[in-house]
């Protein structure tokens, strides 16, 4: 069911004619309904949003004004996702850093009274499956703003030779539409200019990104995510307000992930040592998938009892990095 804050923001977006935000909040409500098990309602809401209403007639399904759609088509995507902070397991360090971002943006007016600005240009780095993309979605959900993904593969391959111009259009959109924006696999454009195998076009794209990124001063949160921080150009680092490292879970975090996944099932362990041993070296995502496999097995066996042996087998079958 929609929260009071979502309802207020929905009404506010309508009267401000902020169609992108109106659509994003509507999608968040639909996602909340799906997570609550109200799949029919969620599907109906999504269908209404996709078809569009009179207020959305000048916007496409990604919340893009049709006047700029041709410029950004294929390189910017509104994400249909809703992730609450209490649904994710973080390391204490990452938790503190993300909480600080949320707190600063929730009190942006107070900061501005003293000439201060919130952290809004973030670099997420770490192995795949450690929560970078989910954390970006969580920030958008907690702050009740849209979440957009920058599709770098389409940007680089489809518009080779025009990528810098497309980047300018993206940053213009970022500046005029408050949201969370994720540049995933950022090393595809942020690799060091000293690498001899880079072609000239990619170096020009990085130079353009550095200029646009530094000039951009909106209320949006811009996140670059990479699995390979060592490949990034050194000039990038000073332009970020925060650099957040996402690591593999420790024993306590492994325990929290598993317990969270089995809240609807009967799962009790007296000795977690074997589970820790099997899960060591796995990412949050891999552990979650192993738990899903074990939960499916329980459902298919017509009970809510998770087979401990099956969980251990599922953990063993997951690929370690």
Q: What is the pLDDT of residues 244-279, one digit of tens each?
A: 999 999 999 999 999 999 988 888 777 899 999 999
> Within this chain, do residues 26 and 77 fall inside the same structural domain, yes or no?
no
> Within this chain, do residues 125 and 66 fall inside the same structural domain, yes or no?
yes
Would you state the pLDDT for residue 201? 65
pLDDT at 156 over 70: no
Residue 122 host element (H or E) = strand 121-126
Compute the average pLDDT of residues 157-186: 82
Domain span at 46? 1-57
Would you state the pLDDT for residue 55? 39
> Helices 200-215 and 163-176: crossing angle, nearest 10°?
20
- DSSP secondary structure string for all residues of 174-212: HHHS-SEEEETTTHHHHB-TT-TT--HHHHHHHHHHHHH
Would you state the pLDDT for residue 12? 77
Compute the average pLDDT of residues 220-238: 91
> Within this chain, do residues 159 and 108 fall inside the same structural domain, yes or no?
yes
> Within this chain, do residues 29 and 152 fall inside the same structural domain, yes or no?
no
> Within this chain, do residues 52 and 65 fall inside the same structural domain, yes or no?
no
**Residue 243 banded pLDDT, cuts 50, 70, 90:** very high
Q: Which residue has the higher pLDDT, 223 or 310?
A: 223
> Within this chain, do residues 266 and 236 fall inside the same structural domain, yes or no?
no
The closest alpha carbon to 182, from 64, 25, 77, belongs to 77
Which of 29-38, 217-226, 227-236 has the highest average model confidence (pLDDT)?
217-226
- Mean confidence (pLDDT) of the chain: 82
Which of 70-74, 171-175, 220-224 has the highest average model confidence (pLDDT)?
220-224
How far apart are alpha carbons 15 and 18 in whole angstroms?
8
Domain boundary among 246, 269, 294: 246
pLDDT at 66 over 50: no
The total number of structural domains in the chain stands at 3
Phi, psi of 125 (to 5 degrees): -140, 150
Compute the average pLDDT of residues 147-175: 78
In this prediction the pTM is: 0.77
Domain boundary among 26, 57, 88: 57
pLDDT at 296 over 80: yes
Would you state the pLDDT for residue 111? 94
Q: Which residue has the higher pLDDT, 49 or 223?
A: 223
> Within this chain, do residues 93 and 162 fall inside the same structural domain, yes or no?
yes
Tokens 């420790």 appear where? 250
**Residue 130 banded pLDDT, cuts 50, 70, 90:** very high
> Within this chain, do residues 205 and 255 fall inside the same structural domain, yes or no?
no
> Within this chain, do residues 76 and 52 fall inside the same structural domain, yes or no?
no
**Residue 6 banded pLDDT, cuts 50, 70, 90:** confident
Domain boundary among 246, 268, 295: 246
Percentage of the chain lying above the pLDDT 90 cut: 42
Would you state the pLDDT for residue 53? 43
Write the CATH number for 205.
3.40.50.300
> Within this chain, do residues 112 and 231 fall inside the same structural domain, yes or no?
yes
Rounded alpha-carbon distances, angstroms, from residue 281 to 75, 242, 247, 321: 34, 26, 10, 7
Write the CATH number for 289.
1.10.8.60
> Within this chain, do residues 258 and 208 fall inside the same structural domain, yes or no?
no
Would you state the pLDDT for residue 68? 46
pLDDT at 3 over 80: no
Percentage of the chain lying above the pLDDT 70 cut: 80
Would you state the pLDDT for residue 249? 96
> Within this chain, do residues 212 and 286 fall inside the same structural domain, yes or no?
no
**Residue 160 banded pLDDT, cuts 50, 70, 90:** low
């Amino acid at each position: 069911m929609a929260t009071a804050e979502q309802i207020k923001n929905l009404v506010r977006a309508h009267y401000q004619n902020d169609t992108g935000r109106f659509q994003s909040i509507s999608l968040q409500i639909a996602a909340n309904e799906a997570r609550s098990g109200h799949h029919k309602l969620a599907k109906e809401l999504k269908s209404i949003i996709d078809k569009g209403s009179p207020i959305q007639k000048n916007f496409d399904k990604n919340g893009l004004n049709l006047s700029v759609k041709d410029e950004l088509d294929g390189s910017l995507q509104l994400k249909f996702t809703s992730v609450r902070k209490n649904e994710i397991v973080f390391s204490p360090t990452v938790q503190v850093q993300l909480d600080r971002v949320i707190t600063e943006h929730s009190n942006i007016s107070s900061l501005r009274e003293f000439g201060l600005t919130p952290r809004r240009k973030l670099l997420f780095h770490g192995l795949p499956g450690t929560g970078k993309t989910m954390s970006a979605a969580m920030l958008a959900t907690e702050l009740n703003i849209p979440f957009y993904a920058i599709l770098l593969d389409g940007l680089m391959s489809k518009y080779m030779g025009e990528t810098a111009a497309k980047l300018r259009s993206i940053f213009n959109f970022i500046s005029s539409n408050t949201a969370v924006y994720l540049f995933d696999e950022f090393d595809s454009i942020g690799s060091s200019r000293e690498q001899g195998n880079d072609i000239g076009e990619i170096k020009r794209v990085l130079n353009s990104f550095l200029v646009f990124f530094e000039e951009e001063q909106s209320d949006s949160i811009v996140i670059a995510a990479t699995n390979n921080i060592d490949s990034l150009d050194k000039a990038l680092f000073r332009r970020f307000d925060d650099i957040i490292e996402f690591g593999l879970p420790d024993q306590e975090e492994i325990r929290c992930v598993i317990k969270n996944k089995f809240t609807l099932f009967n799962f009790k362990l007296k000795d977690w040592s074997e589970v820790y041993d099997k899960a060591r070296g796995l990412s949050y995502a891999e552990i979650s998938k192993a738990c899903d496999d074990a939960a499916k097995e329980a459902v298919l066996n017509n009970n809510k009892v998770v087979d401990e042996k099956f969980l251990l087998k599922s953990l063993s079958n997951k690929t370690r990095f």
